[in-house]
Structure 1
Amino acid sequence: MSGSESGWYRGDCHVHSVCSHGGELTPQRLADEARAARLDFLAATEHNNADTHATWGRYAGDDLLVILGQEVTTRTGHWLALGVRPGQVVDWRYGVQDGVIDRHLDEVRRGGGLCVAAHPHAPYDSGTFLYPYEGFDVVEVWNGPWSSDLPWQADNEAALAEWGRGLDADIRRQGGWRPAMGNSDAHLSGQIGVPHTVVRAEELSMGAVLAGIRAGRSWIAESAAVELSFTVSAGAQQTCVGGQLKSCGGPIVARVGVRGVPSGVVSFHTGEGKVHVASLSAAGVGAVEWRTSARESPFVRVEVRHPGGRMAALSNPVTLL
């Protein structure tokens, strides 16, 4: 697919080079591994510096978009500033009690950037996220391998559960909601793209990709081997992940197609929790349908897990009217 076309693009928006603490990869190596992982874009998010910003031009190309960013590591939680200006460094020297976070979020947004609450349940000093989600555009619910013994990896189950609980309240209260995304937080070789976010964008450009993420037109994959389609229809109307469907009181059909998850388990989730479960074949290819109505829940989203519970893919919701 040409980068000038509307379509689904795969990318990892949380990666580190040797310019971050614990990073062992050069920008060139990151770009090479991103291409090997079949990614279309990445975001360079060094810890509190812009040291690699000037180098990315030589490694990006028509087949790999590089978005400039930063992991802002404050005293009471980390966040991703995506789409910053070349050389821009966002201040990180504060905590939740200082009451200054909104000023820095506004600084990023004024430049067209996106603000992401990063690994909100990370089990290390300053990793636990104490800021209200209301100030952020997106929540990183999946950070690194889903099941990991590495002490710096996030508690993904806790992050997903917290985000999921907030969906129903957000949609019912204000009609809006905060999308989820997933990233690798790569520091070492072989980590990039595990997981990554698959975004519906008008083209492969920073503005279009960030717009797709902000709108929730995306789902999360553990690797490029996993493919997922998620549509919801009512009569002649149909929409996909991140969309909104008006049913006029009639039946709604949610359909999921999956490839690359042998003997996987597909589950549909609404404001009532997990409402329908179905198994895939040993070949890992299949489709599942579930029927509902807007009276039952204002949204539906999907998870696909491997046998044993490890996540393979999860979607943002479709909202129902």
Structure 2
Amino acid sequence: MPNSGFPSVRAPGRGAGWYRGDCHVHSVHSDGKLTPEQLTADARAAGLDFIATTEHNSVAAHGAWQRHAAEDFMILLGEEVTTGAGHWLALGIAPGQVIDWDHGVGDALIDRCLERVHESGGLCVVAHPYAPYPSGSFMFSYQGLDVIEVWNGLWTSDRPWNADNEAALAEWGRGLAEGVRAGRWRPAMGNSDTHLVGQIGIPHTVVLADSLDTAAVLAGLRAGRSWIAESAGVDLSLRAVAAGRSAGIGEHLETSGEPVVVHAHIRGVQSGIVSFHTDRGIVHREGLPESGAGGVVWRMTSRAAAFVRIEVRHPHGHMAALTNPVVLV
């Protein structure tokens, strides 16, 4: 690692593959209770490959993370831009780059801030759009933002899923059909919003990246080649096949008008319920065995949907995992 005072933008990792990361984390450098050292140890114990430091309206802690990066663990630099009309995450910004938070609905200042992040190669994420506290609900337009945090773990320490996340997911799901058909849909992601011990990685996002590298991880998130897990104990895959071709999460499948067969494989959700969603809503449900591991196959005509995605819930209805869509063209 270069002795720049900041963590490297890349780690050797495992090459191309699926990497688990929590991109909304607070330490003692803002309103969190844990040090970077504690957060790093807890993140690695939780099975994560990377985290993002996102202190409120501050990047003063960027230099505190250098010694916690490792060959198999990456620290992504960011900021939680905390305004009076909602919060958003600036991920992958330059070391020490501060994104202004003094903007409100209607003043157009947010557009300039989003541009600054994009000019740095970063990603702009709507944070907890239905958070139940003053300024927590996101009141800005989503225009110019890249990804939506549909699952935020801060208020779920006593349960893995709540009504605020359900509302965020429903809103994202309603907009997905129009977005896919217009060719500009926004992917979903999930983060813990860690402030306290025991929160890191609950939930987190699993992203397909060419390497454990900031640019590669952000590219995977931007493209929606990702899914959300409540913990590293949950694993899944989703693949659609048609006309001798196949595509996975966040990818496009050229169907040539042929029937589509969708394969889902899940592990770690005992007696879970798998639901298949398209632009027509829920089209299929099927249960998993008590072991929590199993495969589900669903067949459809290619003209019946513009995309397919899955959700995996526990028997009591709380979310265990959900994916971005496979787009059918």
5 Å matches for 1:49-88?
49-88=58-97
What root-mean-square deviation, in Å, do the aligned CA atoms of Structure 1 and Structure 2 show?
1.6
Measured in 1, the distance between the counterparts of 2:13 and 2:158 equals 37
Which of 185, 199, 203 is equivalent to 2:207? 199
Which of 170, 175, 183 is equivalent to 2:191? 183
Shift of residue 146 of structure 1?
Answer: 8.1
Over 3 Å counting, the alpha-carbon distance change for 1:266 and 1:2 in structure 2 is farther
**Secondary structure, in 3 states, of the residue corresponding to 1:34?**
helix
- Tell me the residue number matched to 1:18: 28
Which of 211, 219, 225 is equivalent to 2:227? 219
Which of 119, 129, 138 is equivalent to 1:120? 129
5 Å matches for 1:232-271?
232-271=240-279
- Moved >2 Å (runs of 4+): 145-150
- Tell me the residue number matched to 2:140: 131
Measured in 1, the distance between the counterparts of 2:279 and 2:218 equals 27
Over 3 Å counting, the alpha-carbon distance change for 1:197 and 1:188 in structure 2 is same
Shift of residue 135 of structure 1?
Answer: 1.5
- Letter paired with 2:43: A
Measured in 2, the distance between the counterparts of 1:55 and 1:175 equals 40
Shift of residue 295 of structure 1?
Answer: 1.3
Q: Check whether the contact 2:152–2:190 (CA below 8 A) recurs between aligned residues.
A: yes
- Letter paired with 2:269: V
- Work out the number of aligned pairs and report it: 317
Q: Check whether the contact 1:17–1:187 (CA below 8 A) recurs between aligned residues.
A: yes
Measured in 1, the distance between the counterparts of 2:191 and 2:226 equals 13
Measured in 2, the distance between the counterparts of 1:63 and 1:135 equals 32
**Secondary structure, in 3 states, of the residue corresponding to 1:210?**
helix
5 Å matches for 1:289-308?
289-308=297-316
**Secondary structure, in 3 states, of the residue corresponding to 1:160?**
helix
Quick check: 1:316 aligned with 2:324?
yes
Q: Check whether the contact 1:145–1:195 (CA below 8 A) recurs between aligned residues.
A: no
- Tell me the residue number matched to 1:108: 117
Measured in 2, the distance between the counterparts of 1:34 and 1:282 equals 28
Measured in 2, the distance between the counterparts of 1:40 and 1:64 equals 5
Q: Deviations over 1:134-160 (max 9, x none)?
A: 22000000000685669xx88100000
**Identity rate, percent:** 60
- Tell me the residue number matched to 2:98: 89
Measured in 2, the distance between the counterparts of 1:147 and 1:320 equals 34
TM-score for the superposition, normalised by structure 1:
0.96
Q: Deviations over 1:7-64 (max 9, x none)?
A: 000000000001122x100011111111000100000000000121001110111111
Measured in 2, the distance between the counterparts of 1:81 and 1:39 equals 20
- Letter paired with 2:257: G
Over 3 Å counting, the alpha-carbon distance change for 1:30 and 1:148 in structure 2 is closer
Q: Check whether the contact 1:41–1:66 (CA below 8 A) recurs between aligned residues.
A: yes
Q: Check whether the contact 1:6–1:201 (CA below 8 A) recurs between aligned residues.
A: yes
Q: Which runs of 5+ in 2 are unaligned?
A: 1-10
- Tell me the residue number matched to 2:53: 44
TM-score for the superposition, normalised by structure 2:
0.94
Which of 168, 183, 201 is equivalent to 2:177? 168
Which of 17, 22, 31 is equivalent to 1:7? 17
Measured in 2, the distance between the counterparts of 1:271 and 1:251 equals 17
Shift of residue 227 of structure 1?
Answer: 0.4
Q: Which runs of 5+ in 1 are unaligned?
A: none
Q: Check whether the contact 1:146–1:311 (CA below 8 A) recurs between aligned residues.
A: no
Q: Check whether the contact 2:201–2:231 (CA below 8 A) recurs between aligned residues.
A: yes
5 Å matches for 1:132-151?
132-144=141-153
Measured in 1, the distance between the counterparts of 2:156 and 2:300 equals 32
Measured in 2, the distance between the counterparts of 1:263 and 1:131 equals 39
Q: Check whether the contact 1:144–1:154 (CA below 8 A) recurs between aligned residues.
A: no
